[in-house]
Amino acid sequence: MENSILTDVLLPLSLFIIMLGMGMSLVIDDFKKVVLFPQAVILGLVGQIIVLPLIAFALVKLFNASPMVAVGVMLIAACPGGSTSNLISHLAKGDTALSISLTAISSLITVITIPFIVGLSMAYFLAADQSIQLPVGKTIVTLIAITLIPVSLGMLVRNKYPSFAIKQETKVNVFSALFLAFLIAAIIFQQTDVVKIGIATTGLVVLSLNAFAMISGYAMAKLFKLNTRQSTTMSIEIGIQNGTLAILVATTILHQPAIAIPAAIYSLTMFITGALLIFWRRYQTN
């Protein structure tokens, strides 16, 4: 997935649209839930920003992953949830309001934590390859441009034109899923040999990461006595990551398609585990 119109134009533009759509699903009250329900929100953020990267680091060490794979796994672990996690939470009869709040807040925080976690990961795993560097300043500016700005604009649209914003929510969710599927297909088409090797060497790592993330989220929630709907959302928010953002960082900022492979494989995995969770929760509630 070399530098092209796809990575330099379509990918950032599409992510901007996706985040704009997410912003149109938000109102100020979503952020007030930090005060109203601090335990659930703080626990979710700790799970996403601290626990998940720690699990990822432990797994890449356990499986002795190659340096590029290790950085790719750490990158997907550093990303926030996305509109996909909100949709899955809704379908799985979780706490959709909590899901939206966690996604929104983590998207703001990860503007800083992604460069920090990925920078440390590259210094640790790619120390021998000084040719690959993370431009921290450019990364932060890019993340602000494709996350904070469109989310803010989306919230402004929601405030001024609520009926219009609500009507766009389903369209944006569909676009988000379809574009991620397109990205994965493009990576497989352009990097067929790398993907084949990646599935063999990375598949077990990312599957383990996704499974441990979702189980850990649910276990943490139950440990702190959150209800079943909140626990379901915690599992989803910690296990379902913004694969589109991870692929953008790998291809557009780092210019390293190999680092995007774990994100692509993880994205496929999380759709499968997300679907299983939806069926399980619906079976439970029937």
- Residue 128 is predicted with a pLDDT of 59
- Residue 76 is predicted with a pLDDT of 94
- Residue 33 is predicted with a pLDDT of 63
**Residue 140: Cβ within 10 Å count:** 15
**8 A C-beta contact, residue 31 and residue 158:** no
Domain residue ranges of the chain, discontinuous segments joined by +: 5-276
- Residue 73 is predicted with a pLDDT of 95
CATH code given to domain 5-276: 1.20.1530.20
What Å distances lie between residue 21 and 149, 153, 175, CA to CA?
12, 9, 10
Q: How far apart are CA 23 and CA 231, in angstroms?
A: 24
DSSP codes of every residue in 179-213: HHHHHHHHHHHHTHHHHHHHHHHHHHHHHHHHHHH
Q: What is the mean pLDDT of each successive set of 10 residues along the chain, which is 286 residues long? A: 61 78 76 72 90 95 90 93 79 82 84 90 80 76 82 86 82 74 70 63 87 93 91 91 86 85 86 86 75
